Amino acid sequence: MTQPALSQLIRDMEARLGFRLVERTTRKVLLTGPGRAFLADSEAILIKLERAIDSARAAAGQAANTIRIGAILPTAFEFLPAVLSEFRRRYPTAAIHIETRESAQLVTAVETGALNVALLRPPRNGGALRLETLRREAFVAAMRVDHPLARVELLQLRDLRPQKIVRISRGDLRDAFGEVDAQLERARLDLASSQAADATLTALARVSAGDGISFVPAWAASLPWKDVCFRQVQDLTATIDLAIAWDASSVPEIVQHFIDVARRIAR
């Protein structure tokens, strides 16, 4: 649809509704308060309509050919592409919609029906959703390639005692990263003077800048970070989970196949 046609459509809708949906200036167009409310309710109606169509197709013996997938960013580098590649063999013409969000947002999206299924970090409370852990991922040490310990392929925590540490602190993942901190403290690493990072990518940026060594989920090792290498730490046993979530009350065949494929890839 062209811009003039879209503008006319909005004006026609405003005339029919009796109030302004957007505020127009010479530089931008913004939703009004009523416009935001109208958009939110309209999106909810469209989601329910899509689910109603899927249910009617299933009742008529026609398999749904659309799937809406949510995923956390770490899955986009290896796991999700592997799942989609195998999934496509059975559903080569499927319409696949993918959204990348934080885990808490994905839970809400699946609960409301905006997404059929999500790959996420398991929340403490998944509500009415079905949650299943797919894999437990180890942590690895990230350091600059010119760091003296980069020559050691397999490290022990005691090897890292004199080093500056870049800690990852995330409230939504405090169990996993809290266990990393606990193991570092038991190994007598100095966390009191550590640098802070709010996410894995931020920690890797600080490592690349020479701020210290960080302990990151193993998925990060698949990224081509400038001047950063990754090493296994034999006695660092903390892990971080990857789970899959879906609404068990309504599982179309196409969604069940995605779940089954994710299980196989995760083994």
Within a domain: 85: no
Within a domain: 152: yes
The type of residue at 83 is: V
pTM for the structure as a whole: 0.76
Q: Are residues 146 and 233 in the same domain?
A: yes
Regarding beta strands 95-100 and 66-71, do their DSSP bridges make them parallel or antiparallel, or are they unpaired? parallel
Q: Are residues 237 and 142 in the same domain?
A: yes
In whole numbers, what is the pLDDT of the chain averaged over residues? 88
Per-residue confidence (pLDDT) for residue 61, from 0 to 100: 45
CATH code at position 56 = 1.10.10.10
The answer to whether the CB of 140 falls within 8 A of the CB of 216 is yes
Among 92, 98, 53, CA closest to 80: 98
> For residue 238, what is the enclosing H or E element?
none
- What is the count of structural domains for the chain? 2
pLDDT over 70 percentage in the chain: 91
CATH code at position 162 = 3.40.190.10
Residue-number span of the structural domain to which 235 is assigned = 136-241
Where is average pLDDT lowest: 5-14, 49-58, 121-130? 49-58
Tell me: pLDDT of 49 over 90: no
Within a domain: 258: no
Alpha-carbon gap, residue 151 to 155, rounded angstroms: 10
Within a domain: 223: yes
Counted residue by residue, the chain has a size of: 267
Within a domain: 11: yes
Within a domain: 39: yes
17: three-class secondary structure by DSSP: helix
